Amino acid sequence: MKERSMADQTFIFETFLAPAWYKTYLYVTEYIERRVGVPTFLLNGETLEDFAAAYADGGFISPLSYIQLLSQHPRSVELIAASIPPGVSDQEALPSFFDIVVHKESAYRAMSDLESCNWAYHTGISHVEDRFMQEQGKAATNRRETTETSSQAQSLRLILEGAADATTIDSRMLNIVLQNSPRIAAQLRIIGTYSTSAGPLIVVATHVSPHLKHKVQQALLTMHEHAFFAQRLQEGNIERFIPASNTYYERYGRREAHVITDNAEAEMQLSAYSI
């Protein structure tokens, strides 16, 4: 596919985020246009396939959408930046992924079915589950019962024994379980995955030339230094952008990637319970 260079007429961005983000990213694309000297255009994205088809040159997407794009061969995008909210460190901006797990024989097929389930609630990641419940709205507040557990391993035990209907498990830990225990894997089903992330990600399609890609990234990294545009970022709960790459997501992605077994804390928790 022909690379898109600075000589081309327009750099098309698509946003796959909630409508509330649109105005903020309209300012982002305007700043990029000023800094890079290439006309930009922002559209509401409808399909991630637009990157591979060269209909879109760049995009604002969620971590889960990016993980989905990473599974494509050949890859259609490259990650160039992540947004950081005020008061959040660079390290805290890296997302964690969590799976919603039920028993394989469960009648629950989707997260929208969880309105009346018995939820195994792990105190160690309660903030994650609280956020998930809030995002689910009414379905979360109407759950029939919550069973508090002391670890994710104990939550899994309750699912296996039928004492709870659903729970949240860190994807890295669940990967360890599924990879090393076919017996347990055969009894579990994942009905959804979500992430905790400080902010959306910015990607550029692989058909964009390296030079133009670099110019766009540099514009993002300096946007917070411009008084007017810094204010527009803050109105969108963004302090600045930082450089980002595929590396973190390749390591901590879904089960299509290699399982990470060097998570000492996860292994220690698992060894404490004979699931």
Per-residue pLDDT of the chain in tens (275 residues, 90 and over written 9): 555 555 557 999 999 998 988 999 999 999 999 999 999 999 999 999 999 999 999 999 988 788 788 878 888 999 999 998 888 776 666 667 788 899 999 988 887 788 788 888 887 665 555 555 544 444 444 445 788 888 889 999 999 999 999 998 888 788 888 888 999 999 999 887 776 665 789 999 999 999 999 999 999 999 999 999 999 999 999 999 999 887 766 654 444 433 333 333 333 343 333 44
Cα–Cα distances in angstroms (integers) from residue 148 to residues 50, 204, 213, 224, in the given order: 43, 43, 48, 43
Burial 47-80 (b: 16+ CB within 10 A, else e): ebebbbebebbbbbbbbbbbbebbeeeeebbbbb
pLDDT in tens, 92-150: 666 677 888 999 999 888 877 887 888 888 876 655 555 555 444 444 444 457 888 88
Q: What is the pLDDT of residue 68?
A: 81
Identify which of 166, 170, 155, 171 has the alpha carbon closest to the alpha carbon of residue 115: 166
Name 79's bridge partners. 203
Domains defined for the chain, CATH in brackets = 11-92+198-244 (3.40.190.10), 96-196+258-271 (3.40.190.10)
Q: What is the pLDDT of residue 171?
A: 81
Q: What is the pLDDT of residue 244?
A: 86
Q: What is the pLDDT of residue 255?
A: 43
DSSP 151: S
Query: What is the pTM for the complete model shown?
Result: 0.63
Q: What is the pLDDT of residue 24?
A: 95
Q: What is the pLDDT of residue 170?
A: 84
